[in-house]
């Protein structure tokens, strides 16, 4: 459908490809030893690679795509299921970007440095200093790294410690600050996107900040995200979607799936005119039980969620 091609940055004109070093699928198969059928399955089933499509529909792979194929092979050789490789690659991506410039141990040390500064402001309940450090972190790293590698690990650490050692007030202070800032960013992202996606927690199975951050990471220049408030009744989702008419409904949870989850989700999907997807740790745990259904699994890492959502909406990724 032409409307989908407009949303897919992988579609390129034949003439624009002449300046890049790109390889047809048969050559990639020869270089990597992976047959074309498997390469297409890794693309459509798991979203592990994103070859460029010419206007005539041919797949062309970059050197980066070939490196990704080799990385996938190495993880599979180490005994990792192919369905789990995407999450590993997404986690590794932030440090790989700097790998040729800064050793990984220094990157991790810098994350810890920022977390120590944030904790110092939180322990003093100093909102002005927290605001300043918060802004400085964003000048050093992209949004995905800031939340996945710096802010949320600190938030989770404080959340776990408060049950053992106290410190509830500090955690509440940081939680309230982050929720307000994420909400501001979500509002700013809504203006010009051509597609709407609703994000809600599945049966309240997460903290509000986890839901908001997932929504922020899922959003992009093409997709506007709207978050449904915690406590949204599952049974009333068809009513809400019927009014808002989103392109997709994303259900977020970090909990293990309940036995009747596939039945509930498939029944929900039949009642909606939009795609239904899972995000968070639940989507990793439930992927096998949902294979072959209409439910898409986006994963739990920011880069992976954004990539898979775009591929699902463009019709280039199988459920």
Residue 220 sits in the same domain as residue 259:
yes
Q: What is the CATH number of the domain that holds 22?
A: 1.10.1660.10
Judgement on whether residues 200 and 264 belong to the same structural domain of the protein: yes
Domain membership flag for residue 319: no
Sheet of strand 59-61: strand arrangement? 11-12, 52-54, 59-61, 23-24
Q: Which residue has the tokens 């990792």?
A: 80
pLDDT band at 92 (very low <50, low <70, confident <90, very high): low
Q: What is the CATH number of the domain that holds 145?
A: 1.10.1240.10
pTM of the model: 0.74
Q: In whole angstroms, what is the distance from residue 80 CA to residue 74 CA?
A: 9
Whether residue 314 has pLDDT greater than 90? no
Note whether residue 98 is domain-resident: no
- The answer to whether residues 178 and 129 belong to one domain is yes
Is 234 among the domain residues?
A: yes
136-193 pLDDT, tens digit per residue, is 998 888 888 899 889 999 999 998 888 667 778 999 999 999 999 999 888 877 655 6
pLDDT tens, 213-254? 999 998 877 788 899 988 899 999 999 999 999 999 999 998
At 96, is the pLDDT very low, low, confident or very high (cuts 50, 70, 90)? low
Q: Which residue has the higher pLDDT, 118 or 13?
A: 118
**DSSP label at 22?**
-
Q: Is residue 266 assigned to a domain?
A: yes
Is the domain of 169 the same as that of 113?
yes
- Of 256, 208, 163, 191, which Cα lies nearest the Cα of 199? 208
| Segments forming the whole domain that contains residue 6 | 2-80
Work out the mean pLDDT of the chain and round it to a whole number. 82
Say how many domains are in the chain: 3
């Amino acid at each position: 459908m032409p409307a989908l091609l407009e949303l897919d940055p992988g579609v390129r004109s034949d003439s624009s490809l002449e300046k890049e070093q790109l390889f047809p699928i048969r050559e990639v198969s020869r270089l990597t030893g992976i047959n074309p059928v498997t390469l297409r399955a890794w693309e459509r089933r798991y979203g592990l690679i994103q070859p460029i499509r010419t206007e005539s529909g041919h797949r062309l792979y970059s050197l980066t795509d070939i490196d990704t194929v080799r990385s996938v092979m190495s993880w599979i050789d180490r005994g990792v299921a192919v369905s789990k490789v995407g999450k590993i690659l997404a986690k590794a991506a932030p440090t790989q970007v700097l790998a040729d410039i800064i050793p990984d141990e220094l990157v991790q040390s810098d994350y810890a440095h920022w977390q120590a500064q944030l904790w110092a402001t939180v322990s003093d309940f100093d909102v002005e200093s927290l605001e300043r450090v918060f802004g400085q972190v964003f000048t050093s790293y992209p949004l995905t790294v800031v939340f996945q590698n710096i802010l949320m690990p600190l938030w989770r650490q404080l959340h776990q410690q408060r049950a053992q050692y106290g410190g509830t007030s500090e955690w509440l202070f940081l939680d309230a600050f982050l929720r307000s800032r994420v909400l501001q960013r979500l509002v700013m992202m809504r203006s010009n996107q051509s597609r709407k996606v609703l994000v809600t927690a599945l049966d309240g199975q997460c903290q509000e900040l986890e839901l908001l951050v997932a929504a922020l990471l899922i959003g992009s220049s093409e997709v506007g995200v709207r978050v449904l408030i915690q406590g949204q009744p599952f049974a009333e989702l068809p009513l809400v979607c019927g009014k808002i008419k989103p392109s997709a409904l994303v259900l977020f949870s970090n909990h293990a799936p309940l036995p009747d989850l596939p039945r509930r989700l498939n029944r929900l999907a039949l009642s909606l005119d939009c795609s239904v997807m899972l995000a968070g740790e639940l989507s990793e745990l439930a992927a096998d039980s949902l294979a072959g259904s209409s439910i898409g699994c986006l994963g739990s890492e920011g880069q992976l969620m954004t990539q898979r959502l775009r591929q699902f909406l463009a019709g280039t990724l199988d459920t």
